[in-house]
Amino acid sequence: MQASFQLYFVGPELQSPLLTIQEEFGPSHSDLPLRVPNQVNWRIQESLHLPYGTSNNTQVSRFLLLGLSKEPELQPLIFGLFLSMYLITVFGNLLIILAVSSDPHLHTPMYFFLSNLSFADIWFTSTTIPKMLWNIQTHNKVITYEGCIIQMYFILLFGGLDGFLLTVMAYDRYVAICHPLHYMVIMKLRLCGLLVLLSFIMSFLYSLLQSLMVVQVSFCTNNEIPHFFCEPSQVVLLACSNTSICDMVMYFAGVLISGGSFTCILYSYSQSPLYVESNQLKGSIKHFPPVHLTSQLSPYFTLQS
């Protein structure tokens, strides 16, 4: 009886009666294995739209930092230039911290914020420049995947901290100019500490969010970063998986943090008087706040670029 069933299965004209009999007495034809050619299976997988953070590619274990130039004769010049800039930045900021901490006359809110800004600048440059100098000296451009994520996290952490501290310093200047009689009452040590702590927390959350979004994507064999450090936007461009959500979150977070800080700085200067008469010269010389605004925003724009 099973043999007759197999004959009926071969005959196309008796295919429907066989299905009816099998539904009542035998196993369904759906239990039969379905074999799809490998080429067809590969095309089906390629045609599917993979969800965010999933890919059929293996995770890379390292990246290549191409640096500023591929010319071998320029490497000693770049090494000497960045080494001198790094040493000047570190020792200059250390001197500021040492001067503020050692002189009691400088124990004011303005210098307190300035010392924290110097601290953030030291760590911000230390997350990128030493690795670049090491790569030039050893002729090795490799950075591990874990090292790239860690470097990216600290760049965003201390870079965001710079922006928040500049905003806090703008608020301190606003209180000093617009409310000079209440300055020491408003800018107490407790408030200054809370503002710095809030800047650290906001920077921590911002860098953590950006780093987690980068960790979710998958990368292909193309692992060359056209920079001397793991710049987040350049790393995301190397991803093979869908990065639409990652791009959206990173863009809006960057606009919110940068735009919010920039708006607060502009607002603090817009509320200040346009001209402030000098007490010593009785108004013969006037200080123009936009000059101070430019000097304060210049490191902010450098940071954002």
CATH number, domain of 93, equals 1.20.1070.10
Q: Does residue 52 form part of some domain?
A: no
pLDDT at residue 51 greater than cutoff 60: no
Secondary structure element (H or E) that encloses residue 64, with its range: strand 62-65
First to last CA, the chain: 80
**Region 28-46 average pLDDT:** 44
Q: Does residue 166 form part of some domain?
A: yes
Output 93-98 pairs: Cβ under 8 A, ≥24 positions apart: 93/118, 93/119, 93/121, 93/122, 94/118, 94/122
Q: Does residue 51 form part of some domain?
A: no
Report the 3 state secondary structure along 35-53: CCCHHHHHHHHHHCCCCCC
pLDDT grade for 305, boundaries at 50, 70 and 90: very low
Percent residues over pLDDT 90 in the chain: 31
- The boundaries of the domain holding residue 186 are 62-304
Percent residues over pLDDT 70 in the chain: 69
**Region 281-298 average pLDDT:** 48
Q: What is the pLDDT of residue 100?
A: 93
Return mean pLDDT, the chain: 76
Q: Does residue 5 form part of some domain?
A: no
pLDDT at residue 282 greater than cutoff 50: no
Structurally, how many domains does the chain consist of?
1
Phi and psi at residue 219, to the nearest 5° = -120, 155
Q: Are the beta carbons of 110 and 129 closer than 8 angstroms? A: no
pLDDT grade for 276, boundaries at 50, 70 and 90: low
Q: Does residue 246 form part of some domain?
A: yes
More confident site: 279 or 75: 75
pLDDT grade for 303, boundaries at 50, 70 and 90: very low
**Region 132-145 average pLDDT:** 88
Q: What is the pLDDT of residue 294?
A: 52
State which of 22-36, 211-225, 262-276 shows the largest mean pLDDT: 211-225
Q: Does residue 43 form part of some domain?
A: no
